[in-house]
Every structure is written in structure tokens, then in C-alpha cells.
Chain A
Amino acid sequence: MTEPIAKILVPFKSVPDPYAEATPGGSASTAKAVINPFDEIAIEEALRIRERGEATEIVGLTIGPAAVDEQVRAALAMGVDRAVRVDDARALDPYAVARILRAAVEKEAPQVVLMGKQAVDDDSNQAGQMLAGLLGWPQATFVSKIELLENGARACCTRETDGGLEVIEVNLPAIVTTDLRLNEPRYVSLPGLMKARKKPIEVLTCEQLGVQVEPLTTTLSIARPPKRAAGARVESVEELVRKLKEEAKVI
């Protein structure tokens, strides 16, 4: 067994439930908020690393208004040791998030920052890589397997890329972003949630973190894209082949 590597910081975002759209009449605007699925995977992985005795403390951190405290409690209920909310109600872009996270990393001094590869509301896939760039730390993105080596001096990470799987080693401290197949997050029990209600949430402002950021991207509007027209039913394989040949002319 390796020596514990001390501390893992897990930044997580509160997003509309990604499964809400799938239900008839559901939409992101009415969906209940949840922890971003990729960040839930990051929390789960941190817990597993601690359970293997390779980490001493997991700090969960989110940037958002008081309304996201419910997701902070969910993170505490999953098992993070301590939770911080940076109180900021503005619409932040990933670069603003990364600059705030840099200040938080400088304060907390973790050995690993484990975070989602993408927030499923803005689908940007940027904040982790930007944070790594700002800190000058190594990064391993889209990770589906993490192994700590040499008492936490390095991490061996398997990455899911367009071409297949790739393995890299990064010196710690480093940023690791999670992909879907890293793990399956545990189920949060009701008693766990009740207990988490009593745990304190540390609330900090950007000012207290000594960071001042203005988002550089502004969303002017969000609209539903034009809907693809529903097509026709075909009754048989023969009809399908005929339509593909004669009507659509694709085969």
C-alpha cells in the first residue's frame, strides 16, 4: 500500500438534471438541480482513492449562489470530508471558473484536482484544462482509469480519446478530468443526506479568495434549435430498402 497523498480537491457544478429532458414535457428550465454527472464520478473516484487508504482528505468545492447548497449537501452525503462554496451568482464562463479555481487551489494546496470533463449544461469541456494551464500543472483529461504510483508522486491515467484508449503518466500535483466509464457513483442514502444536513458548508467570496474575475463570454440568448421533422413509418424491410434507394437515394 502507498502512503496517503494527503488531499484531493473536487470542484463540482450544479446543473439541471440531464435526464429531465427525456421525460415527456420535461425541460432543462423546470428540471431539478443535480451534481453534474461527470463531477459525481469525480467525487466517487476521490472516495474510492481515500477508501484504498491513498488519500487523507477530500474537499468538495462549488462556485454558485446559496441555491446550490442542496448539491453541496449531496456531495457531503456521498462522503466528501469538507465542502466549500464560493458565493458567486453570476453566469460564469469556464475561464472565469478556472481562475477562481486557481485561487482555491492555491489556498487548499491539494495534490490532485479531480473534476468533470464537461458540465452537461454548457457542454464546454474547458475548465479543467484551463486550470491546468493557469497553474502550469500536468493534466490528464477524459480519464477512465486512475492509479496512484510511488506514494502519490505520479498518477497513471487511461484516457478515452477519439482513436481509442491512451495511457499517460503525470507527476503530481496534477489536474485529472473524468469520463463516464471511470466508475459508477454510489447511491446517496436518506440517512446519509440527513447527516449531511448537519455538516457545515464553508462559504467564501471571490474577494476573500483574493481573486477578481469578469467573464469574457456573454450568452445573449438561448433558443430551441429548429426541430427535425419526423419521418414516415415503413411496414417492411422491402419497403425500407425501396425508399432508401428510390426516395432518399442513399444506397
Chain B
Amino acid sequence: MTARTLILVEHDRREVKRPSLHAITTARALGGDYALLLLGQGLDEMASSLVSYGAAAVLVADDEALAEPLADRYAVVIAQAAQKLGATTLIGHSSTFCKDILPRAAALLDAPMLTDVVAIEEKDGATTYQRPVSAGTMLATVQLAGEKRVLIIRASAFAAPATDAASSPIERLEVDGSSLPGGTRFVSREERVSDRPDLTEARVVIGGGRPLRDKESFDRLVGGLADLLGGAIGATRAAVDTGLAPNDCQIGQTGKVIAPELYIALGISGAIQHLAGIKDSRVIVAINKDPDAPIFQMATYGLVGDVHQVVPQLIKALQQS
């Protein structure tokens, strides 16, 4: 079996992460056959959920040695799979999982790599890629040398893939656990259970900044509004640093990039590093007591006011309507 493109599919041990499937849209646009790759342990159900995306195969590396996503092992298995397929393109999506593992795989494959690709253009036989740089204040157009490439795409820049009637074969990859690197050991993971939608997949996101002051206010105002609108909660670096919200809530250049229908920024100044993560939201609402706060330059609707007064009013108004 051969395929031009290999797509790394991410999951959380229960289900496939939907944004990682947007790489299928990228692969289709690039042309040629593509295979999907799942790594982990106990993957049968997730593999079955992937057979209707028109892939030449759903490859499954299912082994005890891969139970946890350790970069040194995963990179070896991914690079071997790419070589076996003769794949010249390897694609993942912008997540800490792919960013941890794919650059390592790129080095093993001796391939150039781009992260956060938002557009690909093929013209006169040459391919150019666009990606934001300098906290999204600039957009770079880049070219790659050679045949091989590793791409990490921004899921929000590529549509969710349509499913296909045909069924892709599921193929197991032989994994020899004893031959994989053994220098890394998984110790623990903090499992956070939340009834709220995933930040990067939510239709509505409520973001809180430093002036939320304490965890109680953050949960009551940001959390309260989120629950009312069925949204996810996000935060600025300042809010995370001061312990108002967990680290995985950080939105921005060095946190998560979101593209919801509605983003409501509560007490957020609008530093470029934060804006880098919210620019693609369809509607942005900002509530800030400083009429000159930079966030207002980006907001669809701006309301000047104190979050501690305005947000309870907003919650009440929404409950009544």
C-alpha cells in the first residue's frame, strides 16, 4: 500500500479529536491518496469511526508501548509508517500533541516543516504556504525545498471534511515495543472533567482577564455566562498566571487559537499575544472599563463598563430573554 500523504489523527483515548480531521481537507486539496494514522492502545472503536473519510487506509498502531503519547516513541512509529507508505507529506493540526511529536518525526524523516499553516497555494508547479508569525501581526509566505514536507495546519483555516460512502480498510501496523526508545516514562495526567465544550471546538467562548480578581468571581462571571450560552471558558495569560483559570484555558500566541461564532472578552486589554488567538472569531464582544483599551479596535461590539457590574446585568438580561 502506498499513499502520498499521511495524516496523524489525535484522540483523547475515548474519541477522535474532531479538529485533527480537518487535515483531511488539506490532504484532499493537495491531491493524491492519503492514509490516516492512529496511535495508542485499544483503538478499535476509534479506527471504525474513521473509515468513511475516503482514506486509502486507516492505519492503526495499537500497542501497550504506545498507551501514552510519548514523543520519542510516537515519532519513530510515525516516521516508519510514512516511509513504509512512501508518503512524502505528513500532516497534523495545531495542538500540543502534534507540536510535541511532529517536529521530532520531521527530523527523523529529514524533512522541512511548517507549523500553523493557514493557506496553501499551488501555482505554476510551485507550492507556497501562508502562516502567521510574530504573534499573528504578520503573515509569512513560505516555500519548501525538496519533495518531503511536514505540515501542521490550523484546523480553523481548513473546513471539516465531508464523509464518503466508501469504506477504507483498517490496517494494523506491527509495533515492536522493545525496539522503541525507552528513555521517557509517563507519570500522571491531571484529568479535568468538565461539562463545558472543548475550547477549540466551542461555538461560544467567554474569556476572562486579570480584573476578574479571584477564582470565585471568575467562575461566577465567566463561568456563569459560559453556562448560560452553552460556551467554553478561556482566559488571558495574566488570568492564568494569577491562578484564576487553569493553564489549558489560555488563549493566544502561546496558548490556544480559537475561531468560535461568538467570543466575549471580559476585562481583557487586547495585547497582541491574546489577539493572536481570537482574530478568527466571527463576532467579538468586549467589555472593558477603559474606553481606549486596544481590544475595542478588534471588537464587533464594545461596551465600556466594569465587568463586576455589567456581567451580572448581562447574565440577568439573558436569563430573562
Tell me the complex Cα distance, A167–B188, Å.
5
Task: Return the CB mask of A111-139 against B: 1 if under 8 Å, else 0.
Answer: 00000011011111111111111101111
Given A139-B104, A224-B138, are A250 and B283 neighbors across the interface (CB < 8 Å)?
Answer: yes
Task: Give the residues from 121 to 136 in chain B that come closer than 8 angstroms, CB to CB, to chain A.
Answer: 128, 131-136
Residue from B100, B137, B187, B282 within 8 A of A224 (CB atoms): B137
Contact between A28 and B71, CB atoms less than 8 A apart:
no
Tell me how far the C-beta of A173 lies from the nearest C-beta in chain B, rounded to whole angstroms.
9
Contact between B317 and A238, CB atoms less than 8 A apart:
yes
Contacts of B29 in A (CB 8 A): none
* Contact residues of B: prevailing secondary structure: mixed
Contact between A126 and B301, CB atoms less than 8 A apart:
no
Task: Return the CB mask of A88-114 against B: 1 if under 8 Å, else 0.
Answer: 000001110010000000000000000
Task: Give the residues from 207 to 251 in chain A that come closer than 8 angstroms, CB to CB, to chain B.
Answer: 214, 216-225, 228, 230-238, 240-241, 243-245, 248, 250-251
Contact between A162 and B95, CB atoms less than 8 A apart:
yes
Contacts of A138 in B (CB 8 A): 72, 181, 183-184
Given A141-B71, A230-B297, are A126 and B100 neighbors across the interface (CB < 8 Å)?
Answer: no
Query: Is B141 located at the chain interface by the 8 A CB criterion?
Result: yes
Chain A: which residue is nearest B189 at the CB level?
A: A166
A to B contact number (C-beta, < 8 Å): 255
Tell me the complex Cα distance, A134–B188, Å.
27
Contact between A244 and B248, CB atoms less than 8 A apart:
no
Contact between A164 and B132, CB atoms less than 8 A apart:
no
Q: State how many residues of chain A have any CB contact under 8 Å with chain B.
A: 82
Contacts of B186 in A (CB 8 A): 166, 168
Query: Is B41 located at the chain interface by the 8 A CB criterion?
Result: no
* Contact residues of A: prevailing secondary structure: mixed
Task: Return the CB mask of B6-49 against A: 1 if under 8 Å, else 0.
Answer: 00000010000000000000000000000000000000000000
Query: Is B70 located at the chain interface by the 8 A CB criterion?
Result: yes
Contacts of A201 in B (CB 8 A): none
Query: Is B163 located at the chain interface by the 8 A CB criterion?
Result: no
Query: Which one, A15-23, A63-71, A79-87, is touching chain B?
Result: A15-23
Query: Is B216 located at the chain interface by the 8 A CB criterion?
Result: no
- Looking at chain B, what size class is its interface with the partner chain? 35 or more
Tell me the complex Cα distance, A159–B187, Å.
11
Contact between A233 and B185, CB atoms less than 8 A apart:
no
Query: Is A181 located at the chain interface by the 8 A CB criterion?
Result: yes
Tell me the complex Cα distance, A201–B141, Å.
35
Query: Is B83 located at the chain interface by the 8 A CB criterion?
Result: no
Chain B: which residue is nearest A235 at the CB level?
A: B303
Contact between B142 and A218, CB atoms less than 8 A apart:
yes
Tell me the complex Cα distance, A130–B139, Å.
24
Chain B: which residue is nearest A161 at the CB level?
A: B96
Residue from B185, B204, B256, B294 within 8 A of A250 (CB atoms): B204
Residue from B71, B200, B247 within 8 A of A165 (CB atoms): B247
If A218-B142, A231-B299 are given as contacts, then 4 extra A-B residue pairs at C-beta distance below 8 Å, sorted by A number, are A18-B134, A98-B107, A126-B113, A223-B139
**Interface residues of A, Cβ cutoff 8 Å to B:** 16, 18, 21-22, 27-28, 93-95, 98, 117-118, 120-134, 136-142, 144, 156, 159-171, 174, 179-181, 214, 216-225, 228, 230-238, 240-241, 243-245, 248, 250-251
**Interface residues of B, Cβ cutoff 8 Å to A:** 12, 70-72, 75, 95-97, 99-108, 111-116, 128, 131-146, 181, 183-192, 200, 204, 229, 237, 240-241, 246-248, 253-254, 256, 261-262, 271-273, 279, 282-285, 294, 296-304, 310, 313-314, 317-318, 321
